[in-house]
Structure 1
Amino acid sequence: MKGGVDKIRESLAGLATLAGRVAAEQAEEIAAIAERYETTLRGGGTLFFAGNGGSAADAQHLATEYVVRYQTTRPAMRAVALTTDTSLLTACANDMGFEEVFARQVEALAEPGDLLILHSTSGESPNVIRAAQSAKARGVGVVALLGRTGGQLKHFADIVLIVPATDTARIQELHLAIEHVICDLVEDRLKG
């Protein structure tokens, strides 16, 4: 079991180091994202979240934090995960291609004043890139939380935050931690 304990310590220490680096180097970007969420919500806009795999689960998690509550009971905030409607996702993937599953929803639901938040560990997934392009074409703002070097998606976002790591799990863990910090800031500012 000694090896297991060492691996636990190494993994958590690595995560803490990465979190510290992001806090030191990108606190301004995180604050700018929080301000953008706040501005969107104050203006009556909707936060739309999307991503693939674990990032899709994070999209659902985060939309729930805004609609229901994070730390404080307060009025509901407008947030939608574009990852939850299996009938829509599978119909669109089958009929139009998987790269359109989020873009089509952006076309149908988003309007100027809304904000699309995309999580991608690579920034290269065609469906998140197409979603960003669709949002930009509609005058909808785009925030991207990315990993590695940011990939192509970084070129289609108004605000970009890149977790400087290559391990998918570490990137997703930091994305969720960062989003919780943002949610805490937004909830505190808008609670009434």
Structure 2
Amino acid sequence: MLLHRIQQHFIDSADLKYQCAQAMAPAVEAAVGAVLAALTGGGKVLACGSGMSAGLVQAFVASFVGRFERDRPELGAFALGSNAAALTGLYNAFDARSVFGRQVRALGQPGDVLLLVTTQPQSPDILGAVEAAHEREMVVVALCGAKPGPLHQLLKDTDVLVSVPSERLPRIHEAHQLALHCLCDGVDVQLLGEDTDPEMDT
């Protein structure tokens, strides 16, 4: 019984990723374009997410500032949820909509990109971040699940929505991680060219 359940998780994850290859790839390609335009224009990526999504965001930033699969110059990226003192202080002093929003207003500049990773697109902290990014004339790249809800309503035509065709949280997180890997790889390919035998990070 347990063995079958474990096997089913692998099967379900693989099935969803197969769907995502068709459903999400064009949006991920657009996200690569938005991020690359910011970086080559002297901008940076401000990234945020809550809960497990915050961990995905921090891993993404580590790949940008450090490396993904190949050595290259560092790329400008910052995870807004990585400073515990700032985060808890903002939650204590302001409403939830201001937690990421104030950080975006403080650090964001026109031409930067706000990267959102969320399974709860109705969260006030996420919506506040989008509003602040638009005030700073930033492009928003938003990764979410099958029902973007109010987040979708806030996005502009110049923003990018990457929506996973699933409502199961573990599957959404897995697809988000793969999409972020594709984003890192896509930027590297555009900056460095194709690499048929990438050096793996050990």
Answer whether TM exceeds 0.5 for this pair: yes
1:108-142 alpha-carbon deviations (Å, 9 max, x no partner):
00010100010111311110100001101111111
| Residue identity (%) | 33
Q: Which deviations, in whole Å up to 9, do the C-alpha atoms of 1:20-75 show, x marking residues without a partner?
A: 11111222111111111111111111111101000111111101100000000110
1:119 aligned onto 2:117: yes
CA distance in 2, matches of 1:185, 1:135: 23
What is the match of residue 35 of structure 1?
33
- 2:132 maps to 134
* Partner residue, 1:68: 66
Instruction: Please name the residue that 2:162 is paired with.
Output: 161
CA offset at residue 97 of structure 1? 2.2
Partner of 1:108: 106
TM-score by length of 2: 0.90
| Contact 1:122–1:149 (Cα < 8 Å) also in 2 | no
Aligned to 1:90: 88
Task: Indicate conservation of the 8 Å contact 2:24/2:164, yes or no.
Answer: no
Deviation at 1:191, TM superposition (A): 3.2
Kept in 2, the 8 Å contact 1:50–1:81? The answer is yes
1:4 deviates by: 2.1
Instruction: Name the structure 1 match of 2:187.
Output: 186
Aligned-residue offset at 1:85: 0.7
For 1:181 and 1:5, locate their aligned partners in 2 and report how far apart those are by CA, in whole Å.
31
User: Shift in Å at residue 155 of structure 1?
Assistant: 2.1
Secondary structure of the corresponding residue to residue 132 of structure 1? helix
Q: CA deviation at 1:87?
A: 1.0
Q: Is the 8 A contact 1:122 1:151 kept in 2?
A: no
1, 4, 7: which one aligns with 2:2: 4
Matched with 1:99 is 97
Deviation of the 1:156 alpha carbon:
2.4
Q: Are 1:58 and 2:56 an aligned pair?
A: yes
Q: Distance in 2 between matches of 1:190 and 1:79?
A: 16
Shift of 1:98: 2.7
Larger mean Cα displacement after TM superposition, 182-191 or 69-78: 182-191
Alignment correspondent of 1:49? 47
Offset at 1:146?
Answer: 0.5
- Distance between the aligned counterparts of 1:57 and 1:26, measured in 2? 21
Q: What is the SS of the residue equivalent to 1:84?
A: coil
* Runs of at least 4 residues off by over 3 Å: none
CA contact (8 A) 1:49 1:59 kept: yes
Unmatched segments (≥5 aa) in structure 1: none
**Residue aligned with 2:37, SS:** helix
Q: 1:161 aligns to what SS in structure 2?
A: strand
For residue 32 of structure 2, what is the amino acid of its counterpart? A
In structure 1, distance between residues paired with 2:35 and 2:9: 31
Ranked by relative contact order (alpha carbons within 8 Å, sequence separation 6 or more), the top structure is 2
Q: Which amino acid aligns with 2:187?
A: V
Deviation at 1:182, TM superposition (A): 1.3
Per-residue deviation, 1:181: 1.0
Separation in 2, partners of 1:85, 1:18: 33
What is the SS of the residue equivalent to 2:120? coil
